Structure 1
Amino acid sequence: MKSIPFIVLLFLILMACTKPSPEFGADISQAQDQIIKGKAIFKEQCSSCHEFNSNAIGPNLSGLTRNVESSWIRDFIKNPQALLDAEDPRALGLLEKYRTVMPGLDGLSEDGINSILSYLHTFEFVIPDTDPDSLVNLIEAGIPDSGIVLDLEFFSQLPPSDTIPALAKMTKMEPLPQSNRLFINDQRIGIYELVEAEPRLYLDLKTARPKMVSKPGWGTGLGSFAFHPDFLQNGLFYTAHTEPGGTASSDFGYTDSLDVFMQWVLTEWKATDPSARQFKGSSREIFRIDNASQAHGMQELTFNPNAKKNESDYGLLYIGFGDAGTAEKGFANIANHQGSGIYSSILRIDPLGNNGKNGQYGIPENNPFAQIEGKAGEIYAYGFRNPNRIFWTEEGTMYATDIGQHSIEELNRIEPGKFYGWPVREGTFVINPYGSFRQVFPLPKDDAKLGVTYPLIQLEHDELAAIFAGYIMPYGPIKEKLIFGDILSGRLFFADLDQKPKPEVQSLKVRFEGRVMTLEELVGGRVDLKFGMDAEKNVYIMSKNQGNIYKILDSQ
């Protein structure tokens, strides 16, 4: 594992301990209306990552404007990547410590940026981060480079829906069941069908749901979609998208003392003609869930592809729903519900049933808590911070990736009714959800009494920042191994999930047009990695950075 270089630690310590200079912030307006405006912008754009009493996903910002030049802060808000490209030492230090690049707010006006600075300048004192740095060597063994190279070829590109850093925000590409038709989403727009590799807009969700919002840096907008296994007969498919908090009455919420920032909406669509290239038909809302931030919502919808018509799992919709940002906002009890709530859970519902909370969906009778008083019958498994990808092997074993808070990324083997630890565990470490998320502890001797199911694979944040799984590769040099990677950097890994006692994880590179490289080199910066598969079981790599899709070739 890589340790944080001493010079970076020294820089960060000096930054935290330096007395505020009267020169810093002298150019920042303290007009009351500008402070109020800045607070509103901060709440919408920044509060998911930054706090004023401790470090979170990003650094604690208390006292920032009194210790750092206003011009540097403005430049960083506009375009952090530009400072990294220029090898700015402060920006490099932040990247080394937090292992993620902040999305630039280049669409924000100068007045908006100045308003943010006005609000930041109301926090006068630096609160130093005194917690142990949990980034360093929690897991001693590093990930070896396998020496394996995957050959890629360009396949397709989605139309740009915004400017850099993400030209197109695709998260999922999968075929229509019982068909060779291939579909992909853009979180800002809707669902495209790739017809001979050319994107054609199938569902214009932006027009159909004008209240839909998609903010940069998080999984908002059209988070996921899934076609019913009988789509060719019934024309049904499902989407998850975000709307502003308070847009409509929610079916699932929480305490009034925590603001509702977003709402996730699960919708059923019924195509009049399932064979049509563009959707026409009707829709209905299945349910709506309150979210406390832009983060950790409904980012996965899927059906078990192995289930047959005569089996109980056929036609049941799996939904990955995270903690909605509640734990980071000090409301860990919402996530730590022990089966009584729907947050931090993988849900399983019958979209065609009607015995659910609002009568718009069904609760399968064989769900683990369906018959238990005081438990949420929708739950299949729980204790996840952000279960962003659910998949099955051909043998029927179910897995899910879970993006961690500050230290550990997880791949879990999913079993019904099991508790996977969040928000009192991160990987195989104890976390205090009411303390610092940067500080983790060894498991206690009596840990078994908590009943946590721990990850099959756990990786530390000095290896990757946000895990995302692909598929069990059906061909090529890593055949029958799981390919997965880091969303931000695009660093690729593979593992044999059947290896005992634990799967060994190795990294690999790609080759494009004869040149061996990393995905960061291929796309020219932050990757925003996702995977896709077509009906012929070809596997694809997707990058939001360029909106490009690359096919993994069958080569040795």
Structure 2
Amino acid sequence: MLYKTVLTLLYSLAATSCFSFLVAWACATEQAPNINPVNAAATVRVVNAHPSLNFDAPVLYTYAPDGTNRMFVLEQAGRIKVVDQATNASNATTYLDIKNKVAYGGEMGLLGLAFHPNFKQNGFLYVNYTREGNGHPRETVISRFKAPSANATQIDPATETILLTFRQPYANHNGGGTMFGPDGYLYISTGDGGSGGDPQNNAQNRTSLLGKMLRIDVNGTDKGNYGIPKDNPYVGNGEGFREEIYAYGLRNPWRFSFDKKGQLWVGDVGQNKLEEVDVVTKGGNYGWRIREALDGYKPTEKAADPLIGPIHEYSHANGDLSITGGVVYEGKALPELANKYIFADYVSGRVWALTPTGSNKATNQTLIDRAGTISSFGEDRIGEVYLCDHAEGKILKLVK
């Protein structure tokens, strides 16, 4: 009875705000008590990629351009763990520990990681985390750390150089995606600042960094420890628009990725009706809070630029409540998934494959009915796809 009462409260909170990991986990537990993967499409399934290992709330699985077999697991509480993919080692070692810097809980924490394209030469990696307290307001931090060598087993937290910080008015909707694009620039996804309904209208406000896709030049210095790419849409504008902005009108773009064509795919978490997948282009306005996907949310508000619709949207009607953006499959083991966008829902645990059909449209198929509480997707060096099970602490691999 107490559990039902707590769950009812969590649902009521979720109705006016993006699902935090805590709320989403409770919903997922209630709606889909069978956590064993079910193969709906009879073509693919997931297996535990590291069966002897458990991680603390994993939110990313990635690799560095370091010439090794290492894979890196981002733990939301503030650690980066490393495992050897070739030997499937029975232990994971701590590569970087910044738990004492990170404000962790709900949607806050260590949320993003990207290795410099020249990491093998310079040892630079970039993280995205929230901090609060100890003299700091609640804010997002984008910072750089330096490994002593490309194959070093540990990084000293004292090597941190902060590039960029921006305030977070609420504890939710922190975005967190951090990735280098094929152009060599660092892309950062930011949420609208939180609460529910974007009360400060940050996503449409181009003087704010919230509710945006940002793009910065980590090799530049015109902003101090970073630069602005010369072709960013608001370079040199006289209206106070932030030059870091690449695209805007996003609610909580938690995870994004690039395909081999250079297209930028974003999973944007909805308010209380619709989740969406966007293919984001420079200068684009993706509608929030005027629209939630294609549905009017505050339709009487005026847009500065034409609104770009999603390539795909889905409703909350079937218990799918919080999108986890994924990757376009470019591996060899699952040829039937070639060039399809693989994504999931954190609450229901469903995994889908989206096939673009032109003119900003796509067809969608269910791959797995329940894979886990999927917080993120990852790829290895040969393009095979992995899923982070946030609640169970597992790294799952997509296989036949």
Contact 1:240 1:298 in 2 (8 A): no
- C-alpha distance in 1, partners of 2:72/2:231? 31
Contact 1:368 1:379 in 2 (8 A): yes
Structure index of larger Rg: 1
The one of the two structures with greater contact order (alpha-carbon pairs below 8 A, sep at least 6) is: 2
- C-alpha distance in 1, partners of 2:388/2:309? 29
Contact 1:146 1:506 in 2 (8 A): no
SS at match of 1:318: strand
Cα offset, 1:328, TM superposition: 3.9
Cα offset, 1:233, TM superposition: 0.2
- Tell me which of 405, 409, 412 is aligned to 2:278: 412
Contact 1:301 1:319 in 2 (8 A): yes
Cα offset, 1:102, TM superposition: 8.1
Residue pairs, 1:379-458, within 5 angstroms:
379-432=245-298, 451-458=306-313
Cα offset, 1:330, TM superposition: 2.9
SS at match of 1:232: helix
Residue 212 of structure 1 is matched in structure 2 by 102
Residue 543 of structure 1 is matched in structure 2 by 389
- C-alpha distance in 2, partners of 1:351/1:331? 29
SS at match of 1:324: coil
- C-alpha distance in 1, partners of 2:303/2:164? 36
Q: Which amino acid aligns with 1:467?
A: I
Residue 94 of structure 2 is matched in structure 1 by 201
The unaligned stretches of length 5 or more in structure 2 are 24-38
Deviates further, 347-356 or 378-387: 347-356
- Identical-residue share of aligned pairs (%): 26
- C-alpha distance in 2, partners of 1:298/1:235? 25
Deviation string, structure 1 residues 262-301 (Cα, Å, up to 9, x no partner):
2111111111222111114712111221111221114111
- C-alpha distance in 2, partners of 1:350/1:344? 20
Q: Which amino acid aligns with 2:227?
A: G
Contact 1:156 1:549 in 2 (8 A): yes
Contact 2:46 2:397 in 1 (8 A): yes
Change (3 A) 1:96 1:221: closer
Contact 1:301 1:317 in 2 (8 A): yes
Cα offset, 1:486, TM superposition: 0.1
Change (3 A) 1:242 1:101: closer
> Higher helix fraction: Structure 1 or Structure 2?
1
Contact 2:166 2:209 in 1 (8 A): no
Change (3 A) 1:290 1:482: same
Matched length? 373
> Higher strand fraction: Structure 1 or Structure 2?
2
Cα offset, 1:362, TM superposition: 0.9
Q: Which amino acid aligns with 1:182?
A: M
Cα offset, 1:344, TM superposition: 0.7
- What is the CA RMSD across the aligned residues, in angstroms? 3.1
Contact 1:245 1:291 in 2 (8 A): no
- Tell me which of 359, 368, 379 is aligned to 1:533: 379
- Tell me which of 334, 354, 358 is aligned to 2:221: 354
Deviation string, structure 1 residues 488-536 (Cα, Å, up to 9, x no partner):
2211111112456621112122xxxxxxx7325xxxxxx2442221112
Change (3 A) 1:223 1:183: same
Residue pairs, 1:83-482, within 5 angstroms:
103=22, 147-156=41-50, 168-177=56-65, 179=67, 180-195=69-84, 196-198=87-89, 199-206=92-99, 210-215=100-105, 218-244=106-132, 247-248=135-136, 262-280=138-156, 282-304=159-181, 307=182, 313-314=183-184, 316-325=185-194, 328=197, 330-332=199-201, 334-337=202-205, 339-356=206-223, 359-374=224-239, 375-432=241-298, 451-463=306-318, 464-473=320-329, 474-475=331-332, 476=334, 477-482=336-341
